Structure 1
Amino acid sequence: MSAPQGSQGTVSIDIPDTPHAIDRSGLRPVGVPREVVVARSVAEVQETVRRAAETGTPVVTRGAGSGLAGGAVAGEGVIVLDLSGLDRILVIDPVDGTAHVEAGVITADLDRAAAAHGLFYAPDPGSVGISTIGGNIATNAGGLRGAKYGVTRDAVLSLDVVLADGSLVRLGRPTIKGVTGYDLAGLVVGSEGTLGIVVAATVRLLPVPAQVATASASFGTLEDAATAVAAIAVSGARPAVLEILDGATLEAIDAATGSALRSLGEALLIAQTDGFGAEQEIAVVAGALAATATTVEWTTDAAEAERLLSARREALPAIERIGRPLIEDIAVPRSRLAEAIRRIRRIADEHGVPIFVFGHAGDGNLHPIIVAETDADGEIPEIAHRAADDIFALALELGGTVTAEHGVGRLKQKWARRELGEVSVALHERIKAVLDPQGILNPGSAF
């Protein structure tokens, strides 16, 4: 198999379990990709897409493969386009508060580079240490700081995009403000590689907060924790971080670390404020927590803050010690948080599978983690997928969404279509047809 002219990145695929064909979702592809192109330049991306367009060959774009919805899974006859080699931070401008970066830059690397200028990159998905900016843009990734700073789309100013015919276009603008034309950059963010291939982006950077304060509170019931979330929402405080962990998750953390979090209550909330008034703001948050909490503590000391945050950081590793997790993400209105968690527990009981729930209470984003023994082929059993279906149905029933930050990929198409409705799906399909008339860009993903 020959490489594109001028490219050293194409490799032949001759084994079905190539890591380039899968992501972290656990979804296994049918068949073997036709080839993998590890692009080292935008020109190589363009040439690869032109070749694909000439032959009508599907292209699946990937970064670090850290996705959890099957968006980078590639099967029979597909060209896998790996952008991890486009990993340069091209410009950081402290005056404009922007960075221009290639798609393969690791999110944490951008944040570290920005810190040298007294700035930070606000989106912080749980995969921040391994995921790429391009992948974050593809799924419109969120993270712990989403309650205050929003998601990836809120940080994107402009995108360099290779279209389905191989042409290169810049969408958006490098300025903080600008309303000329349709917001095509915003349309591409979250489109999971189905409308174009993002090769670079200009993103916003913000000043590193002058102060950070952290609070942790335990609650006797989920309802008490949900009441505290509502109280914070109307208090005037705006935490950068507001996380919730349920009792099952706390038990898993206790088993893994020797802590005793579950003995303090049925739920744990962790909040963090930042900025010049962080200490005054955390006092307001602590007052809202204290009304229903069994214990409350807060600090402005960095080392103590790490101790309080450790429970959230330990949650997924502790659950992974128990078994292979099926990591889901839904969002519901904050007013329905307690009901959502309570009914997820009911779903766990009905199907006889453990489900652990933690998430971003500040924006209603929950991560129900289903743990079930894999079958002889290493696949997650059907009963776990049935439990996931019930969770998605619950999210829609409560006025929420079936994915808040992981994306639709190939795993949630049925539910995405149910959430969107026939008219909206038809509109999605017409937009896709305009930008990708042959349907070669990540077919079978997103909706």
Structure 2
Amino acid sequence: MMSQELQKDLEKLPKSYQDFWEEAACFIPANRRFCDPLHTLAYGIDASFYRLIPKIVLKVRSPEEITKIIKISRQFKVPLTFRTAGTSLSGQAVTDSVLVVLQGAWKGHAILERGEKIVLEPGIIGAEANRFLKNYARKIGPDPASIDHAMIGGIAANNASGMCCGTADNSYQTVADLKIILGDGTLLDTGDSSSCSDFAASHGELIQEILKIRAEIISDPQLTESIRRKYKIKNTTGYSLNAFVDFEDPLEIIKHLMIGSEGTLGFISEITYHTVIEHSHKASALIIYPDMEQACLAVQKLDRETVAAAELMDRISLQTMEEKPGMPPYLKTLSATATALLVEVRGVDAETLQGKIAQVEELLREIPTVLPLSFTAVKSEYENLWNIRKGIFPAVGAIRALGTGVIIEDVAFPKENLAEATLALREIMDKYSYGDGIIYGHALDGNLHFVFTQDFGRAEDLPRYEGLMQDVSELVVARFGGSLKAEHGTGRNMAPFVEFEWGKKAYVLMKRLKAIFDPESLLNPGVIINDNPQAYLENLKNMPQAHQIVDTCTNCGFCQNICTSKNLTLTPRQRIVIQREIQELKRTGDDPERLSRLEKDFLYPGNVTCAVDGLCATTCPLGINTGDYVKFLRSQSVTPVKRWVADSLANHMGGVTGVMRLGLGAVNGVHGLLGTKVMKNLALGARKISGDTIPLWNPWMPKGGKVPAPSRAANSSAPLKVVYFPSCISRSMGAAKNDLDQRSLSEATLSVLKKAGYEVIIPPKIDCLCCGMPWESKGFFETADKKSAELEKVLFTVSEGGKYPVLCDTSPCLYRMKRVMHSVKLYEPVEFIHDFLLQHLSFQQLPETVAIHVTCSSVKMNLKDKFYNVAQACAENVIMPSDVHCCGFAGDRGFTVPELNTSALASLKDALPESCHSGYSNSRTCEIGLSLHSGLSYQSIVYLVDKCTTAKI
């Protein structure tokens, strides 16, 4: 039955959209259809500086659904826009109509011809594709800076390139075949001869129109030459007219027209790439030149046969990075005109690499440098140099004035004009008071990015931006014959300038193309082809402040792939978008009805289903921890009564954990008597009757834990001592019925420490101590800090003033302890085993395949490699699923919001081979969820270490 709120939301839509919704409801389930204010706003925002809010959002999971959606779009004349990750920068993935979202599905892939080809669905992230190809020493050609976050659908639809792929290895050059769903719902598979034959028979008129356009282009030598010239450099302005020059076969032309078409001609449901070699031998040099002219002269001496990349960075770019950790000290000493060129060379072997280095040194020998030219082939060193280049754009986002947005424009010049063009570009930026803007880019391709900040909430600033863009267009096109969009796509941003760059004849041909494939302009209208000369100045996005924790967010979306709730409710980007809207409505007092609705609707998707694990900060270029912000929001709802309850529980920890042990023991006993099936049905029924207020029991619910007896240092001469603090979770929760090892975690930990020769000190009154994490996650910050301070005082005393290391057996607890305690040396199990015990134990590698799950806290403490190394010392085969991040159990949320845990671990079971029979982690609650969704026993890594070690003799 339709809710009253949904009914009201639908009634606000035009009749055609109501009809569209009703038809879509026949095959798209309710949890993948949205027309409410919260979800349309949350999904409507992408990384560009445009804001259009869709009327309807659909999350689509199959080609069949796409075909049906396209057909009802035609039926009701309702436009569609397709989106994958939304990292787009030019406004090509926003709409005020129907937004079709692919994220969360479309993950199919296949490797062909020993890695020389790869078949990819559009929902796969670019870096994932390269991981699939790693064992073949191959990779996909496109290498955009956002490859760790951008999806294949967007990479192909925008013909994204990057630092190393140039114009030779982009999607246009490396596409082998496509599956395309056209505007009439027809599927064309260019790799299937039957599909091609059927298409030729059913779409003869379209093919004839394609051939007519080709004939017109070929018969015009001036236009043909212009096309060839313009694609010698990077160019994503308009449609890929080079397809008509490069190919005669109409299906090849169609295939290549789809690359870079930004969803305006059809939907790419699958792409097959020719892959390229991934060289294992690399070296880089950061070369400092006295000025821009000398740096550009150096670029002109280089080509892709010699170097893989040459990245230009002006002095202001370098200044944004010079205070960052690990940066070369000499960056601070450079003159105001100094310019850097970051060069990378690659080879199939060390000898070839050295030859390339010598070649570059000879080519650049006569151009003066500020510092001697020096290459490094040490991975950690050249990666640090590339961190300078990769960090520039995020650095601008971090230092910008609050409320402003970061704009990154993207142009290309013939390489021989690069020096003059770059200096002229700087003059234009200074003319319009963008003096703090930066210029950097892929100099080898003549491709420059210029980045500046803008407050589109100030009407008086709009003419400044307009003047800048007009002058830049004149500079790029009229003066140097370059590209207004080199690799970021035309979008809405450059659509009004396509005719200016290409000329009337070419633009008319592009409009004809659009009409051939999409006669009613229902596929992403306003993108690439847009006759509104002011389109790039309209629907601009404000960036209102919400809270200092999240105010620097640029909406890039780099956080979303790692987010636990991304396929269930919202992502960090979306949470920030909604909160910015809420806070702005509070400030202005506008639309109180909308404010009330957003606040109410935000509670479950934005607050309740946030795991507050903080992994989003690890992929955010600015290190924004949206989990911390949600904790702050939770703290705002703390009432005096709630605080009293929290303090009472904290003051009676011994009783609380005792009751937990007793309750878990009773439930475990009932489970043993009734069996899993009956117990599960009873638990589900009870939770349903309670309105989901009763925590959900599951078959991996543990029995009660054990509290180890306190012990003090007995033998002061013992060389090895450690303070062991069992967390309240491990003290409360023991093994589950089906766990492989039925001992408590403290028993296993004490066993390992004893074998390693450690004297163990266990603090007194252990059952009353807690790190404070349970209270912190719920927003009771004062209570959490009180418990932490109490624990630190005890640990400082028993460690004799911090003399001995302190081991906590639960990683999330230890992570909080490290953040708030500074008087003692703290370790969680993996780190302590790796750093202290490997040398004191004899390991016998077991002939087993084991799975490991690195908890969020361990990831944030950079323990992933140590975790893997410890597990590898214990077992012959170690599985660490790459697409499983936070497990979503989030303390008690695995019981109270079990759907979060289910969504987070949806891919876990399929990622584990049949040969794997056990799993290991370092957080008891996480292990419960991992066991539930894998069907395997997951326990602490300590059990595995105890199983495969003996004391050294």
Q: Same fold (TM over 0.5)?
A: yes
Matched, 1:240 2:308: yes
- 1:24 corresponds to: 47
- Which has the larger displacement, 337-346 or 257-266? 257-266
Write out aligned runs for 1:321-332 (5 A).
Answer: 321-323=398-400, 324-332=405-413
Is contact 2:161-2:487 (8 Å) kept? yes
Deviation at 1:356, TM superposition (A): 0.4
Aligned counterparts of 1:93 and 1:101: Cα–Cα separation in 2: 11
2:515 to 422, 433, 443: 433
What amino acid maps onto 2:314 in structure 1?
D
Q: 1:305 aligns with which of 367, 379, 382?
A: 382
Aligned to 1:13: 35
| Counterpart contact for 2:182–2:517, Cα < 8 Å | yes
Give 2:444's aligned residue: 362
Q: Distance in 2 between matches of 1:12 and 1:380?
A: 35
Kindly tell me: are residues 198 and 237 of structure 1, through their superposed partners in 2, closer, same or farther at Cα, counting changes over 3 Å? closer
CA distance in 2, matches of 1:56, 1:428: 22
**Distance change in 2, residues 1:287/1:215 (3 Å):** farther
In the alignment, which residue of structure 1 is the partner of 2:817?
none
SS in structure 1 of the partner of residue 136 of structure 2: coil
Q: Which amino acid aligns with 2:302?
A: I
**Structure 1 residues 381 and 148 mapped into 2: Cα distance closer, same or farther (>3 Å)?**
closer
C-alpha displacement of 1:347: 1.3
Distance 1:71 1:156, change over 3 A: same
Please report how far the alpha carbon of residue 85 of structure 1 lies from its aligned counterpart in structure 2 after TM superposition: 3.4
Structure 1 residues 373 and 436, CA gap change in structure 2 (3 angstroms): closer
Query: Residue 65 of structure 1 is aligned with which of 56, 62, 86?
Result: 86
Give the distance between the partners of 2:93 and 2:461, measured in 1 at CA.
Answer: 18
Please list the CA deviations of residues 313-355 of structure 1 after superposition, one character each: whole Å capped at 9, or x if unmatched.
Answer: 1111121122232110000011111112211221122111222
Aligned to 1:224: 294
Match of 1:388 among 469, 474, 494: 469
Name the residue aligned to 1:274.
346
Is the 2:263–2:524 contact (alpha carbons within 8 Å) kept by the matching residues of 1? yes
For 2:457, what is the secondary structure of its paired residue?
A: coil
Match of 1:46 among 67, 87, 110: 67
Query: Alpha-carbon deviation of 1:376?
Result: 6.0
* Bigger Cα displacement from structure 2, 18-27 vs 89-98: 89-98
For 1:299 and 1:398, how far apart are their aligned partners in 2? 36
C-alpha contact (below 8 Å) 1:94/1:117 kept by paired residues: no
Shift of 1:432: 1.3
**Mapped contact 2:115–2:138 kept (Cα < 8 A):** no
Deviates more, 1:210-219 or 1:156-165: 210-219
CA distance in 2, matches of 1:171, 1:357: 41
Cα distance in 2, alignment partners of residues 107 and 88 from structure 1 = 11
Matched, 1:415 2:497: yes
Amino acid in structure 2 at the alignment position of 1:287:
E
Which residue pairs with 1:209 in the alignment?
279
TM alignment of 1:33-432, pairs within 5 A? 33-75=54-96, 78-95=97-114, 97-147=116-166, 149-171=168-190, 180-181=249-250, 182-233=252-303, 237-257=305-325, 259-261=329-331, 263-264=333-334, 266-276=338-348, 277-292=352-367, 293-295=369-371, 296-323=373-400, 324-353=405-434, 354-373=436-455, 375=457, 381-396=462-477, 397-432=479-514
Please give the secondary structure, in 1, of the residue aligned with 2:523: coil
Q: Which moved more, 1:426-435 or 1:299-308?
A: 299-308
| AA in 2 matched with 1:362 | L
> Alpha carbons of 1:105 and 1:25: their partners in 2 closer, same or farther (altered >3 Å)?
same
CA distance in 2, matches of 1:15, 1:421: 42
How far apart are residue 114 of structure 1 and its match? 1.2
Aligned counterparts of 2:26 and 2:425: Cα–Cα separation in 1: 53
Deviation at 1:287, TM superposition (A): 2.6
What displacement does 1:4 show?
Answer: 4.5
Between 393-402 and 3-12, the greater mean CA deviation after superposition: 3-12
In structure 2, runs of 5+ residues without a counterpart are: 1-20, 194-246, 530-953
Give, in whole Å, the separation in 1 of the partners of 2:147 and 2:461: 26
Residue 249 of structure 1 aligns to a residue in which SS?
helix
Which stretch shows the higher mean deviation, 389-398 or 421-430? 389-398
Paired with 1:423 and 1:405, the residues of 2 have a C-alpha distance of 23
Structure with more helix by fraction: 2
Greater mean alpha carbon deviation, residues 359-368 or residues 200-209: 200-209
Mapped contact 1:159–1:170 kept (Cα < 8 A) = yes
CA contact (8 A) 1:61 1:80 kept: yes
Deviations 1:48-99 (A, max 9, x none): 1111011111111111111010001111xx1111122343232012526111
- Specify the code of the residue in structure 2 equivalent to 1:389: Q
String of CA shifts for 1:207-262, please: whole Å, max 9, x gaps.
321411222200001111011111224xx843111110011111111244565425
The alignment of Structure 1 onto Structure 2 pairs a total of residues equal to: 438
More strand by proportion, 1 or 2?
A: 1
Mapped to 2, the partners of 1:162 and 1:183 lie a distance apart of 16
* TM-score under structure 1 length normalisation: 0.91
Instruction: Tell me if the contact between 1:22 and 1:74 (Cα under 8 Å) persists in the aligned partners.
Output: no
Contact 1:86–1:104 (CA<8 Å) still a contact in 2? yes
Give the structure-2-normalised TM-score.
Answer: 0.44
Q: Secondary structure at the match of 1:232?
A: coil
Give the whole-Å Cα distance in 1 for the aligned partners of 2:99 and 2:376: 48
SS at match of 2:288: strand
Residue 272 of structure 1: CA displacement? 1.1
Cα distance in structure 2, aligned partners of 1:426 and 1:180 = 22
The separation in 2 between residues aligned to 1:376 and 1:352, in whole angstroms, is 15
Q: Provide the identity percentage.
A: 28
On the 8 A contact 1:322/1:371 being kept in 2, the answer is no
Residue by residue, what CA displacement relative to the aligned partner does 1:287-314 show, whole Å, maximum 9, x if unpaired?
A: 3234222221102221221122221111
Cα deviation for residue 385 of structure 1 reads: 4.1
Structure 1 pair 139–48 and aligned structure 2 pair: CA distance change class (3 A) = same
Q: Which amino acid aligns with 2:432?
A: H
CA distance in 2 between partners of 1:283 and 1:173 (Å): 47
Shift of 1:381: 4.5
Q: Secondary structure of 1:147's match?
A: coil
- Give the deviation of 1:183 after TM superposition: 2.2
Tell me if structure 2 keeps the 8 A contact 1:158–1:173.
no
| Secondary structure of 2:133 counterpart | helix
Matched residue SS, 2:179: strand
Aligned partner letter, 2:313: L
Q: Which has the larger radius of gyration?
A: 2
In structure 2, the CA distance between the partners of 1:215 and 1:407, relative to structure 1 (3 Å rule), is same
Q: What is the alpha-carbon distance in structure 2 between the residues aligned to residue 325 and residue 33 of structure 1?
A: 23
Task: Give the AA of the match of 2:57.
Answer: V
Conserved 8 A contact 1:329-1:402: yes
- Higher RCO structure (Cα 8 Å, ≥6 apart): 1
Q: Equivalent residue of 1:369, what SS?
A: strand
Letter in 2 for 1:13: C
SS at match of 2:509: helix
- Compared CA separation, residues 185 and 148, structure 1 to 2 (3 A): closer
Q: 1:348-370: per-residue Cα shift (whole Å, max 9, x none)?
A: 22111222001001101100112
Matched position secondary structure for 1:294: coil
Q: Following the alignment from structure 1 to structure 2, what is the Cα–Cα distance between the partners of residues 108 and 409?
A: 24
